[in-house]
Amino acid sequence: KEMKLWGGRFEQSVTATVEKFSESVSFDKTLYKHDIMGSIAHASMLAAQGLMTAADRDMIIKGLKEIERQIDSGDFLWRTDREDVHMNIEAALTDVIGEPAKKLHTARSRNDQVVTDLRLWCRDAIDTILLSIKHLQVALVRLALKNEGLIVPGYTHLQRAQPVLLQHLLLAYVEQLERDAGRYLDCQERLNFSPLGACALAGTGLPIDRFMTAKALGFTAPMRNSIDAVADRDFVLEFLSANSITAVHLSRLGEEWVLWASEEFGFLTPSDSVSTGSSIMPQKKNPDPMELVRGKSARVIGSLATLLVLCKGLPHAYNRDLQEDKEPLFDSVNTIIGMLEVTAEFAQNISFNHDRIQSALPAGHLDATTLADYLVKKGLAFRTSHEIVGKSVAVCLTKGCQLLELNLDELRSINPVFEDDVYDYLGVDNSVKKFCSYGSTGAACVAEQLDFWVAKLNLK
Ligand code: ARG
């Protein structure tokens, strides 16, 4: 049996049970590229500071690159008896280059090493997520461009409320995603500080240069406090919070599209390529991908909860508990990327059923609020006009008709203020045309918003 890298004071080796329970290489091997990057920066700094020779540095860097090549090509043997990604790579480096490898861990602990790797990994993961967000925004804007002029019922309390342009609704999702992207950027900026050189928790008495490694790794600066550097995982919490908020946005969109794909709504049809069938009911065609987007938001939120609970009771500084930060982080990131990708693909493969939507528009008196605005323009107080329109709706309900089907006499018998021009305000088409406030669903406002996004996303 190989002696552990930390084995000096030990007389017995760990039991198989403990080894299996405490290893992390099975999942933290995901960090290998960032671990190697960190080690190269560290070795270069040690040589520059006279803590190792240039020849040793060169052998270490060459060896690390060889190991990276082996891992890339699947030729590397990961060993659970070497515990984690850090000791697997360091021990393998000793296998490859011998003695000089033993200098690499000078003025470094796995405590600062792991959190350096993790910050670098998160920084890259955020870049990937930002790209996926942009792809989804593009898909949604393209969908909007394809459906110009389509009016859909807008809902509050899931009850018919006011008519809106479908484009307006699609752009609402795009706005939400833009704020999600902003949260990731904030998180990325805040996490981009280097813990390397904090060592176990107290720093070191050796003459290292933390500014040099920070710069080499693209960090803004070294973290000021070595205890903080190894102890905190607030950047993971922040990242998982950003993932959770994005997941909630996607889940709401998923819920909406699942509803809209139902027979009851019938507003959209996903293509067969993004639908699945039932193993028993031959007629079924289900919008599974969006149901799973809704479902997978649960695990993203769960990962955040796991990390919060993981951290809440930990005394400073490093505790082995922190090893448990990785699986929820990796799972959350993989899941959110999958959710973003599948939602974009779904958006590329749905069509809105214009006829069905059109035939659904007369129900629900979507133009009632526009009618109330009409009366305000005639000089009535809004509360008064609200009541008059309410009475008009009541007449419609008794007669089983729409507001635009009431003739002028009927309207005037409710209130004499109605004139012929009222018919310019009734019906969803007229109603939508009346919206003109900034950010509203009026055609001109929506066209402006659409232009904004087309330019921002470099479409056309
Ligand atoms: N695998 C460990 C982790 O993920 C690395 C740090 C271990 N440090 C230690 N002193 N045991 O946190």
Is the minimum distance from the CB of 157 to ligand 1 under 6 angstroms?
Answer: no
Cα–ligand 1 centroid distance for 439 (angstroms): 51
Confidence (pTM) = 0.94
Is the minimum distance from the CB of 110 to ligand 1 under 6 angstroms?
Answer: yes
Report the percent of the chain where pLDDT is more than 70: 100
Q: In the predicted model, is pLDDT for residue 57 greater than 90? A: yes
Q: In the predicted model, is pLDDT for residue 44 greater than 90? A: yes
In this prediction, residue 424 carries a pLDDT of 94
| Catalytic hit among 157, 273, 279, 437 | 157
**55 residue type, one letter:** A
Report the percent of the chain where pLDDT is more than 90: 91
- Check if 157 is active-site: yes
- Given the CA of residue 84, which atom of ligand 1 is nearest to it? 1
Cα–ligand 1 centroid distance for 108 (angstroms): 12
> What is the C-alpha to C-alpha distance for residues 104 and 395, in angstroms, rounded to an integer?
85
pLDDT band for 239, please (50, 70, 90 cuts): very high
Q: What is the pLDDT of residues 92-137, one digit of tens each?
A: 999 999 999 999 999 999 999 999 999 999 999 999 999 999 999 9
Residue of the CA atom closest to atom 2 of ligand 1: 323
Residues listed for the chain: 460
Exposure of 249 in the CB half-sphere (CA atoms within 13 A) = 23
> What is the C-alpha to C-alpha distance for residues 230 and 286, in angstroms, rounded to an integer?
48
> What is the C-alpha to C-alpha distance for residues 440 and 426, in angstroms, rounded to an integer?
18
Residue of the CA atom closest to atom 3 of ligand 1: 323
In this prediction, residue 281 carries a pLDDT of 78
- Given the CA of residue 200, which atom of ligand 1 is nearest to it? 10
> What is the C-alpha to C-alpha distance for residues 118 and 34, in angstroms, rounded to an integer?
8
Q: In the predicted model, is pLDDT for residue 460 greater than 80? A: no
Cα–ligand 1 centroid distance for 54 (angstroms): 29
> What is the C-alpha to C-alpha distance for residues 182 and 135, in angstroms, rounded to an integer?
15
Cα–ligand 1 centroid distance for 241 (angstroms): 24
In this prediction, residue 179 carries a pLDDT of 98
Q: In the predicted model, is pLDDT for residue 385 greater than 80? A: yes
- Given the CA of residue 24, which atom of ligand 1 is nearest to it? 1
Q: Can you say whether residue 285 is alpha, beta or left, with left for phi > 0 and alpha for psi between -120 and 50 degrees?
A: beta
In this prediction, residue 441 carries a pLDDT of 96
Pocket probe for ligand 1: among 111, 113, 115, 233, the residue whose CB has the most ligand atoms within 8 Å is: 111
Cα–ligand 1 centroid distance for 334 (angstroms): 23
Cβ(65)–Cβ(92) below 8 Å: no
Cβ(331)–Cβ(339) below 8 Å: no
Give mean pLDDT, residues 20-48. Answer: 97
Give mean pLDDT, residues 167-172. Answer: 98
In this prediction, residue 28 carries a pLDDT of 98
| Residue 242: C-alpha distances to residues 13, 193, 238, 324 (Å) | 42, 19, 6, 19
**244 residue type, one letter:** S
Q: Can you say whether residue 116 is alpha, beta or left, with left for phi > 0 and alpha for psi between -120 and 50 degrees?
A: alpha
Cβ(137)–Cβ(126) below 8 Å: no
Cβ(296)–Cβ(247) below 8 Å: yes
pLDDT band for 280, please (50, 70, 90 cuts): confident
Burial profile 360-388: b = 16 or more Cβ within 10 angstroms, e = fewer = bbbebbbbbbbbbbbbeeeebeeeebbbb
Residue of the CA atom closest to atom 4 of ligand 1: 323
Question: Residue 83 burial (CB < 10 Å; 0-12/13-18/19+)?
Answer: buried
Is the four-CA dihedral 374, 378, 381, 383 of positive or negative sign?
A: negative
Geometric angle at alpha carbon 65, from 62 and 70, rounded to 5°: 125
Is the minimum distance from the CB of 84 to ligand 1 under 6 angstroms?
Answer: yes
Pocket probe for ligand 1: among 29, 31, 79, 110, the residue whose CB has the most ligand atoms within 8 Å is: 110
The residues pairing with 164 across neighbouring beta strands, listed in sequence order, are 152
Cβ(195)–Cβ(220) below 8 Å: no
| Residue 134: C-alpha distances to residues 148, 289, 346 (Å) | 21, 19, 15
- Check if 135 is active-site: no
- Given the CA of residue 322, which atom of ligand 1 is nearest to it? 12
Mean per-residue pLDDT over the chain, rounded: 95
pLDDT band for 272, please (50, 70, 90 cuts): confident
In this prediction, residue 276 carries a pLDDT of 86
Task: Check whether the bond before 317 is cis (ω within 30° of 0).
Answer: yes
pLDDT band for 278, please (50, 70, 90 cuts): confident
Give mean pLDDT, residues 200-215. Answer: 98
Give mean pLDDT, residues 279-291. Answer: 85
In this prediction, residue 287 carries a pLDDT of 84
261 CB contacts (<8 Å, ≥6 apart)?
267, 268, 269, 270, 287, 290, 350
Cα–ligand 1 centroid distance for 313 (angstroms): 18
pLDDT band for 75, please (50, 70, 90 cuts): very high
The strand pair at 151-156 and 268-270 is best described as unpaired
Give mean pLDDT, residues 285-293. Answer: 91
ipTM (interface pTM):
0.96
Is the minimum distance from the CB of 322 to ligand 1 under 6 angstroms?
Answer: yes
Cβ(165)–Cβ(447) below 8 Å: no
Is the minimum distance from the CB of 323 to ligand 1 under 6 angstroms?
Answer: yes
Exposure of 105 in the CB half-sphere (CA atoms within 13 A) = 17
| Catalytic hit among 22, 26, 262, 278 | 278
Q: In the predicted model, is pLDDT for residue 64 greater than 80? A: yes
> What is the C-alpha to C-alpha distance for residues 7 and 3, in angstroms, rounded to an integer?
6
Geometric angle at alpha carbon 60, from 57 and 61, rounded to 5°: 85
Cα–ligand 1 centroid distance for 85 (angstroms): 10
Is the minimum distance from the CB of 111 to ligand 1 under 6 angstroms?
Answer: yes
Is the minimum distance from the CB of 9 to ligand 1 under 6 angstroms?
Answer: no
Q: What is the pLDDT of residues 301-342, one digit of tens each?
A: 999 999 999 999 999 999 999 999 999 999 999 999 999 999
In this prediction, residue 12 carries a pLDDT of 82
For 425, the token pair is 């305000």
Cα–ligand 1 centroid distance for 20 (angstroms): 15
Cα–ligand 1 centroid distance for 109 (angstroms): 9
Is the minimum distance from the CB of 162 to ligand 1 under 6 angstroms?
Answer: no
In this prediction, residue 10 carries a pLDDT of 83
Is the minimum distance from the CB of 114 to ligand 1 under 6 angstroms?
Answer: yes
Q: In the predicted model, is pLDDT for residue 446 greater than 90? A: yes
